[in-house]
Amino acid sequence: MTRVLTIEREYGSGAGEIAQKLADRLGWKLWDQLLTDAIARRLECHSRQIEVQEERKDPLYYRLFKAFLRGSYEGSLNTPVMKMADAESIRRVSEQLVRSAAAEGDCVIVGRGAAYYLRDLPCAFHVFIYAPFEEKVRRLERKGKTEEEAIQLVGSVDQDRAAFIKQYFGIEWPARQFFHVMINSTMGEDAVVQTVVNGLSLIGKT
């Protein structure tokens, strides 16, 4: 029986909202911003200011870290800031928390490498949500970004995310072979939710 749903996504595709609707529909716990906050606490991150010395220490790494952790708030950059952590610490803590959430079951986990950490878990169902570039830009504009900001974010966040996945997982993002379904969110949030629920029912979700 499927008890874990992972959602990987393109930035600006609306996956955060879809994940929330799926969690509500299934009555499952949503690990999205909740997971980011848990990772930040484990790594002793803060969100008030960026330490200049730490930012200079590895600005590329810091950017990749933010892309990896960024949650459902696609119009925001309020990702916790690293206080002190290396690549292996981030990988280890992320994996521990994802596996812990999966062990509890009845959960929807958004991003954070969950589809890759749990790729061999029999009770997990993996979904990838995407959208055309123009639609992602429009979605971010509706959330308050300027057109220029939206275009820059859509063009850069997924590049950084792919770079992080490649560097620390050795996988070419998104790696289609890891997903049960890949869905274009322009079909509408409710239609996406129903499609995923239908997929779950076909492999034993009751």
In this structure, is residue 73 part of a structural domain? yes
In this structure, is residue 98 part of a structural domain? yes
* 203 has pLDDT over 70: yes
In this structure, is residue 205 part of a structural domain? no
* 45 has pLDDT over 80: no
* 190 has pLDDT over 90: yes
Identity at 152, one-letter amino acid code: Q
pLDDT score for 64: 63
pLDDT in tens, 46-101: 533 322 222 233 556 666 666 666 655 554 545 555 554 556 677 788 899 999 99
pLDDT score for 94: 84
CATH number at 148 reads 3.40.50.300
In this structure, is residue 66 part of a structural domain? yes
Rounded CA separation 145/140 (Å)? 6
- Is 68:113 a contact under the CB 8 Å cutoff? yes
